[in-house]
Amino acid sequence: MFHTKLCDILNIKYPIIQGGMAWVATAELAVAVSEAGGLGIIAAGNAPAEVVLKEIKKAKKMTNKPFGVNVMLLSPFIDEVIEVVLAERVSVITTGAGNPSKYIKQFQEIGTKVIPVVPSIALAKRMEKLGADAVIVEGTEAGGHIGELTTMVLVPQIASEIKIPVIAAGGIADGRGFLAALSLGADGVQIGTMFICSTECTAHEKYKQKLLRAKDRDAIVTARVSGHPVRVLKNKFAKELMKLEEEGITKKELEEIGAGKLRLAAVDGDVDNGSVMAGQIAGMIKNIKPCKELIEGIIIEAKTRLDSLSKFC
Ligand code: TUI
């Protein structure tokens, strides 16, 4: 059920990939998702290459299933991280926060699948032309660094314009969202926020509890002035940031204040003074469960939903 062309390309059971969330998507989470039949992703974020290498080596020891690495193109260590991912011959690379054109060929030459996040039709078409294996079409509902358009409008428009598989992201955390994404023309989904609330995720317990308490309107957008808007859960830090933005803080000052704040929340558990990145779907997440249960729950719910919908036909 739901075996799409993405499953064949990535050699996975279910067309569900895990979001590459910095400081949250460690080897433990990636391995749990891959073992459960999805595609787990280790996030490189802003980490130095040796940290990324350690996570890749750890994951290789823990699973024989394919997994990926997400490279954040704004990272100060981007070139050395790319070298590590190339040398380790990771199965899949996803990219975020920029245009990965200059790296695509190198990955293809060694058989690594390349899947960029795209926030627009123009970038999706460009990625297809350069040989990307699929694209992640991420709507503004997502957590962390976001684009402008919603999943609902962006996925069908891009699916109509390109032939490579489309992976819908942003606002998906259950079987209904999964089925909706496939209905919009996607061949699979990327899920981030829900996987933070998994047993295997190494994010600090306070980060998980903050997510479980989130309500529908709690995931807000900060840092618009920087040109890199970031969706986070409302807290002391987010409120302070919004006040400073109203007062006309500069892009440089904003970047300085933001530095290290995701780590502070996700690793150290300071969910008042740190940046608790999460998507708009946070309000729907009520439990912490193992990745296998989360993934199988999505598939079962989607199938049940599809069966009940077909009764209308
Ligand atoms: O990258 C993400 N989410 C992230 S990255 C991150 S770390 C960070 N912190 C502060 C500022 C910036 C980054 C936290 N969350 N998601 C994937 C994503 N990619 N969202 C949006 C984009 C994107 C944006 C522009 C992809 C391509 C792009 O291209 C612009 C161009 O040059 O064509």
Domain finish residue from 177, 202, 227: 202
pLDDT tens-digit readout, 120-174 = 999 999 999 999 999 999 999 999 999 999 999 999 999 999 999 999 999 999 9
119, 98 contact by CB (below 8 A): no
Residue minimizing CA distance to atom 13 of ligand 1: 145
Domain finish residue from 148, 182, 202: 202
Residue 23 lies in a domain: yes
Q: Is residue 73 scored above 90 in pLDDT?
A: yes
Cα 191 to Cα 277: distance, rounded to the nearest angstrom: 14
Mean pLDDT of all residues belonging to the chain: 97
Task: Calculate how far, in angstroms, residue 227's C-alpha sits from the geometric centre of ligand 1.
Answer: 10
**What pLDDT was estimated at residue 226?**
85
Q: What is the CATH number of the domain that holds 35?
A: 3.20.20.70
Q: Is residue 71 scored above 90 in pLDDT?
A: yes
DSSP type of residue 220:
E
Residue 288 lies in a domain: no
Task: Calculate how far, in angstroms, residue 248's C-alpha sits from the geometric centre of ligand 1.
Answer: 23
214 with 100, same domain: the answer is no
**What pLDDT was estimated at residue 225?**
86
Task: Calculate how far, in angstroms, residue 73's C-alpha sits from the geometric centre of ligand 1.
Answer: 8
Report how far apart, in Å, the C-alpha atoms of 61 and of each of 26, 85, 145, 286 are: 14, 16, 31, 32
172 with 230, same domain: the answer is no
| Residue 276 in contact with ligand 1 by CB distance below 6 A | no
Binning the chain into helix, strand and coil, the percentages to the nearest 5 are 45, 15, 40
| Residue 123 in contact with ligand 1 by CB distance below 6 A | yes
Residue 236 lies in a domain: yes
182 with 211, same domain: the answer is no
56 with 174, same domain: the answer is yes
| Residue 125 in contact with ligand 1 by CB distance below 6 A | no
Residue 52 lies in a domain: yes
**What pLDDT was estimated at residue 313?**
85
Strand 144-145's sheet: what is its strand order? 144-145, 230-233, 219-222
Tell me the chain's radius of gyration from C-alpha atoms: 18
| Domain extent for 235 | 205-281
291, 16 contact by CB (below 8 A): no
**What pLDDT was estimated at residue 1?**
84
| Residue 72 in contact with ligand 1 by CB distance below 6 A | yes
233 with 187, same domain: the answer is no
Cα 224 to Cα 129: distance, rounded to the nearest angstrom: 30
Confidence of residue 25 (pLDDT cuts 50, 70, 90): very high
69 with 215, same domain: the answer is no
**Averaged pLDDT for residues 74-95:** 97
**What pLDDT was estimated at residue 149?**
97
Task: Calculate how far, in angstroms, residue 303's C-alpha sits from the geometric centre of ligand 1.
Answer: 32
Confidence of residue 298 (pLDDT cuts 50, 70, 90): very high
150 with 263, same domain: the answer is no
Residue 219 lies in a domain: yes
Domain finish residue from 171, 202, 233: 202
Task: Calculate how far, in angstroms, residue 64's C-alpha sits from the geometric centre of ligand 1.
Answer: 30
pLDDT tens-digit readout, 2-19 = 999 999 999 999 999 999
Residue minimizing CA distance to atom 4 of ligand 1: 145
Residue to substitute in 145, 225, 264 for testing ligand 1 pocket (most ligand atoms within 8 angstroms of CB): 145
* Encoded amino acid at 262, one letter: L
Phi-psi region of 248 (alpha: psi -120 to 50; beta: other; left: phi over 0): left
| Residue 98 in contact with ligand 1 by CB distance below 6 A | yes
pLDDT tens-digit readout, 213-255 = 999 999 999 999 888 999 999 999 999 999 999 999 999 999 9
For residue 43, what are the contacts with CB-CB under 8 A and spacing of at least 6?
20, 21, 22, 23, 24, 25, 26, 69, 70, 72
**Averaged pLDDT for residues 177-184:** 98
| Residue 139 in contact with ligand 1 by CB distance below 6 A | no
Q: How many domains does the chain have?
A: 2
223 with 175, same domain: the answer is no
**What pLDDT was estimated at residue 163?**
98
Helix axes 121-130, 101-109, angle to 10 degrees: 30
**Averaged pLDDT for residues 255-283:** 97
Helix (H, G, I), strand (E, B) or coil at 190: strand
Residue closest to 138 by CA, chosen among 163, 180, 171? 171
Q: Point out the least confidently predicted range of 43-57, 248-262, 280-294.
A: 248-262
254 with 158, same domain: the answer is no
Looking at the chain, the whole-number percentage of residues with pLDDT higher than 70 is 100
Phi-psi region of 209 (alpha: psi -120 to 50; beta: other; left: phi over 0): alpha
Residue 254 lies in a domain: yes
Residue 310 lies in a domain: no
- Phi, psi angles (nearest 5°) of residue 114: -115, 125
210 with 277, same domain: the answer is yes
Structure tokens at 211: 């997510």
Residue 312 lies in a domain: no
258 with 180, same domain: the answer is no
29 with 93, same domain: the answer is yes
For residue 285, what are the contacts with CB-CB under 8 A and spacing of at least 6?
173, 193, 194, 197, 211, 212, 214
